[in-house]
Structure formats: structure tokens, C-alpha cells
Structure 1
Amino acid sequence: MIKKILVMAVFSMALACKIQKNKPISEANVEEYASTITAAELKDHLYTFASDEFQGRDTGKPGQKKAANYLKDNYMKMEIASPLGGEDYFQDIPSSFFNNKYNDSENVVAFIKGSEFPEEIVVISAHYDHVGMDAEGNIYNGADDDGSGTVSILEIAEAFKEAQDDGYQPRRSILFLHVTGEEKGLLGSDYYTKNPIFPLENTVTDLNTDMIGRIDPKHEDNPNYIYLIGSDKLSTQLHELSEEVNNKYTQFDLDYTYNDENDPNRFYYRSDHYNFAKHNIPVIFYFNGTHADYHQPTDTPDKIEYDLMARRAQLIFYTAWEVANRDERLVVDKAQ
């Protein structure tokens, strides 16, 4: 009888630890979790993800499939769940959606459920595909475009998970969304917004990361910068929150050059956030600008500024943290 009581006591204690009550999010040391986003871990990820083994991650090709499995394996290792259930981290996209121009492909998704507003979704996105190989067999590794954004999301997800494990569940849900087919015309994000896992009306924002590992020629003398695009297009609150977070934690020079309506590059329309913005979902696009290795076989992981990239990823984490944990949902006060 005593043995049975002891066994039950141990079981009860284990269960209590497992279902530990969430702590007030206001008590969390957010800087502690941001500091888990490190240059060393980003470098370790990217030297694998942008290696020749992944053959340029061309949509529907074996290298892209290998990249998708790399992301899945890491989310499973971190014990971050899939919103699709079980070990299914792939939102499958049939070839017919691509008008049969490309093989079947998949977005990769992972999810941390919110404690108070679980139906409200903060999306953190990046495209993990690139342009593959040329006819001569040269591999376009795409370390900056967009290996940098992809592995940054892994680190941001890990930071949220560590906070969750310590009892600091985000108040809103976080969807980590790695889209395919960006290089073919924003096709993976187009598929997601036409076939959303969570209703778009419940999507609070999309923080999209496409190239945050390099320094463009304009900023060679002052690399403490990041381009922000779209932050003020739909929500004044998002723009103000973004600036406040940067002033408090990271102190980057926020460069809005490409946010100009008359920007001839039209970058606002050229990455995956735009498919969310079309649905009046507030967005921020984080970007380091272009460089001589853009869409060249020379976009390799040895040219990435890992310390700078880690700080940029931390800015995105801080911004997502504030959006996810504020009392009120972001207000959309401008029309697309």
C-alpha cells in the first residue's frame, strides 16, 4: 500500500511539473530569451542549409525536399508542435497549383499556441527555396537569399520555446511559416493565404524575413542598419511598436528607403509578406538590401555577417514578442 502511495505521489508530482501553470508574461526577462539567438547557432545552421548538399533548394526538386526535412527535423528536435498535428509539418502544395510547371512542393509550418488569445495568430515567415542549379551544374546556395531568414526563424522559434518551457507562454499564438516557391512568384505564400491553416481574419500580423545576413554597398561604412518595408502601410500601431522595440533593445538605424511608394525596386511587392498585406494583414518586411552576390552562385555562407544577423533576428523576436503579448490586438487603420 505504501509503495502504491509513493508511486502515485511521484506520478502526481511529474504531472504537476508537466502542466505547470503559466507565469505572468510581464515577469519574463525577454532579453534572456533573445540572447539565445546566437551567431554561432545561426552559422551552424546556415553552413548546412546553404551547402551544396541542398542543391540550391529549387522548388519541387530533391534539394528543396531535403531542406524541408531539415526544418521539420529541427522543429521536432526542439519539441515545437505542428499546427497540422502529429509529425506532419508540411502544408502540401500540388503541382496543379503551379500550373504543372513545377513538381509538388510544401510549406513547412510549426506552432506555439497562445495562452489567452490562442485564436489570434502572429505569423513569422521566410521563404526557404532558392533558384537551384544552372545548366553547367553551378549551385546557387542562397545563403543570404533566403537561408538567412530561414535559419533566423529557427532561432526565433527556439527562443519562444525556451520561454514557454520556463512557463512564459505567449498570449497569442505564433505560426512559424517557411514558404516554398517564392523565387517562382511568391507561390508558397500565395497558396497559404488561399488555403490558410488559420483564418486570415484571425491573423494579427506577418513579420517576414528575406535576406538579413549581409551589408549592402550603401551601408559599408555604417553596418548598424536594417531596411524595414511595409510597417506603416496598414497599422500605425505596428509601425510605432516596431520603432519602440528597436529603441529599447537593438538600436539599429531603421532605413525606410525602400518603403517609399515611389521606390523603383518595388520591394514591398516582391516578397511573401505582400500576399498577407493584400488581405489587410499588417506586415513588416526585414531586409538587408541587395549586393553583388544576389542570385549568383557566390551567395555562400562564408560571406554572412553572423553577429549582425543575430542582432537583426533578435529585433524580429522582440517585435513578435511585443505583438504577441500586448493587451489589445493591433488595429488596422489604413486600407490596402
Structure 2
Amino acid sequence: MKRTILLSCITLLIVSCSTCQNKNTANNADKATDYAKTITENNLKEALYIYASDEFEGRKTGEPGQKKAVEFIKNHYVDLGIPSPIADGDYFQEIPETFFSNNAKASENVLAYIKGSEKPDEVVIISAHLDHIGISRNGSINNGADDDGSGTVAILEIAKAFKEAADKGHGPKRSVLFLHVTGEEIGLYGSRYYTDVDPIFPLKNTVANLNIDMIGRVDPKHENQRNYLYLIGSDKLSQELHDVSEAVNKAYFNMEFDYTYNDDNDPNRFYYRSDHYNFAKNDIPVIFYFNGIHADYHKPTDTPDKIQYDLLETRARLIFHTAWELANRDKRIKAD
């Protein structure tokens, strides 16, 4: 009789704990959805029309327009009350002129972060490059709205969503670093400086890098199927990262993930051509989010009026959900 009662109590306890875990998981998912909704196409459009305007002169590394760009990014974080991990009020990771091998002037990365509530020393990095190619010889300004204005403003909105969650007591368990890197167009210099010279968070504590480079347009291949995104690198260093990415997409978006450029034999070699690569070469799992090449790539015609802001909103929300999952899992994802 006593044994029966004891077994019944144990069974009830197990069921209750399982129910609590399921409820907690569901509640966490609901919260993520609520905060993802703060990422809107109107906010993205407003920011990008400024960031990819003629005033920023194509954001060439080290030039006055690029200096305006970093001030724009910094002021965004200051206004939101999102701190820098470098020092109080210091959002710029200074890169000296001597680091560049192609006569570029001194430049800077911009860093801001949300400190983790339970595992602050572990970090998920969301990155995008802040620079572009500047002014053409004929005087035309290359605004770089898609490349990579789209990634830049997406991070700003993702950061705002994480900040709102933190302000309401739902901050991520792990730290989330918002890393805007310079010098991508001239050789991935900003991300290389961060990984090889001055990693603000030790690389061994970096869980993953989600890199955003061009997510505001549609390439010719997908003109009749807009709800897509190219993913590169997700399974190269961590099958678990790939599985998490797929599960998040299936749960919230059902977007078509195109892995064409993830092929080891991709002749475009996109895996080696954006800032995630400097993390990957250090054995940090990565995902590179990309909409593919279009006719306005690296031309003055890459302007903010051609961005498809509803798609940009959806893609930014997808990346937010993926970062949320990585930052809140009980155990950090494993590198294979």
C-alpha cells in the first residue's frame, strides 16, 4: 500500500515537472514571438533611408562618410540604452591605419551588447559590415542599401528587440554581441581585427556567429518565390547549429532555405567572402544569411527604394528567433 502511494507520488512529480518544462518552453517561445514583432518594416525603412543616403557618401573605409555611419550606429545604441562591452560610453573598437595593407585610413568597428542573465561569459555574436565601396570615379555615390545597409539596420532592430526583452525581465541567458565591422569590402579587415587581434569576448566563449550580409532584395532565381534566404556555413562546423536553424524556421516561418552556395565546390566561394569566415577559421560555428547577387550589386543603383521591406522584416525576425534560441538554450551548441 505504501509502495503504491510512493510510486503514485513519484509519477505525479515526474508528470508535473514535465508539464512545467513544457510550459516554460512554450512561454519562452511566446515571449520570443512578442519581441520579434517589435522588428517592423517601417522602422527598418526609416533607418535605411538615412543609412544608405548620399550623406554617408558610400561609407568607404576610413573616409568621412564611414565616420558618419559609425556615429549613426553608436547613437542608435545610446538612445536605446544598450551599453558597449568595451567601456562605458566607448562603442568603437579602433583599428589603426597600420593594420590595413591597402592604404585605407584608420577605422573602427562598433560594438554593443546585452549582458547574459545566467551565463554572461558565453556570447552569441550577430554581425554585419558597416562599410561599402564609396564614390565611383564618375562621382556617383554607391549607397549600398542592400550591401550591407540591410544587414546593418536589421541588427539595430534585433538589438532593440533584445533590449525590450531585457527591460521586461526576459533578457537572454547568454550575452548577445551586436558587432558592426568595418573594412569588409576591402578584405574582411574589421572582423579579422576582432578575431585575430582584439576579441572583446574570448573566442573559446563564443557560441556562434550569425552574419548578415545582404538580406533586403530578391535575386533572379527567386523572383517567383520571394520567401527564401540563402544559408551558408550552418552545417560546416556544427550540425547542431544547422538543426537549431532549421527547427526555428519550421516553427515560425517556413521560409525556403536555399543551400546552393553552401556547397564546398561553390565556384563563387561565398563561404570565404564575408565576415563570418574569420570566426569559422577559429572553429566557431557560423551562419551566413544572404539574398544572393542582383543587378545592382556594387553599383550606384543599390538604393533604399529597391529594398523589399516586408521581406527584410521577416528575415530579421528569423535571425532574431535563431539568436534567441542560441542564447537561451540550457547547453551551448557543440562544434563538431
After TM superposition, the score normalised by the length of structure 2 is 0.91
CA distance in 1, matches of 2:253, 2:47: 23
1:206 alignment partner AA: N
Distance 2:26 2:171 in 1: 11
SS at match of 1:67: helix
How far apart are 1:99 and its partner, in Å? 3.2
State the distance in 2 between where 1:325 and 1:309 align. Answer: 24
> Equivalents in 1 of 2:300, 2:244: separation in Å?
38
Q: Which amino acid aligns with 1:266?
A: R
Asked if 1:161 corresponds to 2:163, the answer is yes
Give the one of 221, 226, 230 matched to 1:227.
230
In structure 2, distance between residues paired with 1:243 and 1:136: 45
Equivalence for 1:179: 181
- 2:208 is aligned with 1:205: yes
Distance 2:27 2:87 in 1: 31
Correspondent of 1:311 among 287, 305, 314: 314
TM superposition outliers: structure 1 runs of 4+ over 3 Å: 24-28
> Over aligned residue pairs, what C-alpha RMSD do you find?
1.0
Unmatched 5+ residue regions in structure 2?
A: 1-23
Summarize the alignment of residues 255-334 of structure 1 with structure 2, pairs less than 5 Å apart. 255-333=258-336
Q: Which amino acid aligns with 1:42?
A: L
Aligned-pair CA distance for 1:81: 0.4
Counterpart pick for 1:249 among 247, 252, 255: 252
Task: Kindly indicate whether the alpha-carbon contact (under 8 Å) linking 1:25 and 1:325 is maintained by their aligned counterparts in 2.
Answer: no
CA distance in 1, matches of 2:161, 2:296: 30
> In structure 1, the residue corresponding to 2:127 is in which secondary structure?
strand
**What's the secondary structure of 1:181's corresponding residue?**
coil
Matching residue of 1:66: 68
Measure the CA separation in 2 of the matches of 1:331 and 1:100.
37
Render the CA deviation track for 1:126-160: whole Å, top value 9, x for unaligned.
00100000122110000000000000000000000
Equivalent residues, number: 310
The DSSP-based 3-state class of the residue aligned with 2:310 is helix
Find the residue that maps to 1:237 and give its secondary structure.
helix
For 2:273 and 2:25, the matched residues in 1 are separated by 35
Aligned to 1:183, the other structure's residue is in SS state coil
Deviation at 1:100, TM superposition (A): 6.4
Among 95, 98, 120, the residue aligned to 1:93: 95
Alignment of 1:33-52 (within 5 A): 33-52=35-54
What is the CA distance between 1:196 and its match in structure 2?
0.5
Q: 1:65-117 CA distances to partner (integer Å, 9 max, x unpaired)?
A: 00000000000000000001211100000000013611110000001100111
Once residues 295 and 131 of structure 1 are traced to their aligned partners in structure 2, the CA distance between those partners, rounded to angstroms, is 7
